[in-house]
Amino acid sequence: MSDEPIAFIDLKAQRRRIGERMTTAILSAVDDGQYILGPQVGEFERKLATFCGAQHAIGTANGTDALGLCLMALGLKPNDAVICPAFTFAATAEAVAWLGATPIFVDIDEATYNMDPKALPLALDMARRAGLTPRAVITVDLFGLMADYDPIEAFCRDNGLSLICDSAQGFGASYKGRRAGAIGDFTTASFFPAKPLGCYGDGGAILTNDAGYSELLRSLRFHGKGADKYDNVRIGMNSRLDTLQAAILLEKLAIFEEEIAARQAVAARYDNALSDFVVTPFVPAHCVSVWAQYTIRIPATQRARFIDEMKARGVPTNIYYPKPLNQQTAYKRFPVAGNGLPVSEKVAKEVVSLPMHPYLDEETQSYIIAAAREALAGVARVSLA
């Protein structure tokens, strides 16, 4: 174990591993001088699409813009509704609100923290009663685990809704052998540094199997350009993936598969050591998580003490998320499906995430586990509904 403080996500360890190759890639992008949509962007887009089994990848400035661009491609307008979970990062619903449309919040499944497919008919009903036109569902692959896509895809198909998969946290994961990126009308990814595939700044991408959407998205991310750059044929935005970030991501994508495997080993060590003491993450047999977070559950009344005990032992933790969107100032005014969101509201008080990254060595992890066991002494196990 090193003398450095324990990192929640250790980006420096990855930097040490990639070393020279990364430095060379960055400097050659700088020397080439094609800073906007240089050749690294196209190369990264092709490799990203191949990695996840999608036909097309479109690099964007970040994961939030990626969501907004998909909604623009769908022509979302005021009076339209988009169904999404409330237990997520704000960006999921923010992009809907940008376009003046209405997010409708649905509850999650308590075991997976992902959208509860059983709540979808309630959301559709709520949208119609509010006089809104339901247009799309945005799923979130929270903490690196993909949502339950079979019933969600069927629901979207039966009700004429588009499916956007917000895989900011789940890119690299799979569901029944299909990788995030290969499902739905669109998948969005974020390369924010702390995400499983992160760059050295902001970055994002959209994956789609539809050639028409791919072309439209390339125009929308570039001010709505037409065949000629100075004939703008639609209102777009400026949201391209930087050449420099693409150069960085090419190096990181090259080791991503190995990192995903390393994440499984770290998660398995936590599972083995902690599942007798505390509720650990549930991964359905047909899923491979990319472990954006390793999230456990502590009774609401004891969570703050647990976090303090961990901190006293030098172990950082984080709460994702302390409040579901339906309880946040900017989002309270949007409708919720059914009779409220009891599961989202309950888990927000109980979740806590432990340090998780592919370079967490066994010795450091054993220390974290010992600290967690001490901090858990006398803490009751959360009972799942």
Ligand X SMILES: *Cc1c(COP(=O)(O)O)cnc(C)c1O
Most distant CA pair in the chain, distance: 68
Nearer Cβ to ligand X (64/245): 64
The answer to whether 64 contacts ligand X (rule: CB under 6 A) is yes
Q: Quote the CA–CA distance of 257 and 385 in Å, as a whole number.
A: 35
Identity of the amino acid at 373: R
In the numeric block, the tokens 């400026």 are attached to 238
Pick the closer one to ligand X by CB: 189 or 307: 189
Q: Are 54 and 66 in contact (CB under 8 A)?
A: no
**CA angle, 182 then 183 then 186, to 5°:** 90
Report helix, strand or coil for 117.
helix
Nearer to ligand X, 190 or 280 (CB): 190
**Cβ closer to ligand X: 302 or 327?**
327
Looking at 14, 62, 102, 364, which residue binds ligand X (CB under 6 A)? 62
Between 194 and 379, name the residue whose CB sits nearer to ligand X: 194
Of positions 45, 166, 251, 259, contacts ligand X by CB under 6 A: 166
Q: Which of the stretches 59-67, 131-139, 156-164, 368-376 binds ligand X when contact is defined by CB under 6 A? A: 59-67
d(CA 230, CA 232): 6
Sheet containing 186-190, strands listed edge to edge, beginning at the edge strand earlier in sequence = 56-60, 204-208, 186-190, 162-166, 133-140, 80-85, 102-106
Q: What is the SS3 assignment for 231?
A: coil
Least CB distance to ligand X at residue 116 (A): 17
Cβ proximity of 71 and 47 under 8 Å: no
Piece of the chain touching ligand X by CB under 6 A; list 2-10, 72-80, 87-95, 117-125: 87-95
Contact with ligand X (CB under 6 A) among 58, 138, 147, 168: 168
| Residue from the set 91, 126, 165, 372 that interacts with ligand X by CB under 6 A | 91
Q: How far is the CB of 212 from ligand X (least distance, A)?
A: 25
Total residues in contact with ligand X, by rule CB under 6 A: 15
* Binding test (CB under 6 A) with ligand X, winner from 112, 169, 174, 364: 169
Pick from 14, 40, 88, 209: which binds ligand X (CB under 6 A)?
88
CB 138 within 8 A of CB 67: yes
Task: Tell me which H or E stretch contains 208.
Answer: strand 204-208
CB nearer ligand X, residue 140 or residue 347: 140
The DSSP letter of residue 202 is: -
Q: Cα separation of 132 and 282, whole Å?
A: 35
Verify binding: residue 63, ligand X, rule CB under 6 A: yes
Looking at residues 127 to 156 of the shown chain, list those that interact with ligand X (rule: CB under 6 A).
140
User: Minimal CB distance to ligand X: which residue?
Assistant: 63
Taking the C-alpha atoms of residue 324 and residue 297, their distance in angstroms, rounded to an integer, is 16
Give the C-alpha separation, 331 to 144, whole Å.
24
- Applying CB under 6 A, the span of 12-20, 56-64, 211-219, 238-246 interacting with ligand X comes to 56-64
**Does residue 293 touch ligand X according to CB under 6 A?**
no
Cα 168 off chain centre by: 3
Can you tell me the distance from the alpha carbon of 213 to that of 75, in angstroms, rounded to the nearest whole number? 11
User: Cβ of residue 309: shortest distance to ligand X, in angstroms?
Assistant: 27
Mask for 197-236, x = binds ligand X (CB under 6 A): -----x-x--------------------------------
In the set 44, 192, 256, 291, which binds ligand X (CB under 6 A)? 192
The single residue listed with the structure tokens 């693409």 is 246
Stretch that binds ligand X, among 88-96, 155-163, 177-185, 375-383 (CB under 6 A): 88-96
Beta carbon nearer to ligand X, 143 or 270: 143
Burial class (CB in 10 A: 0-12, 13-18, 19+), 293: buried
Residues that bind ligand X (CB under 6 A): 62-64, 88-89, 91-92, 140, 166, 168-169, 190, 192, 202, 204
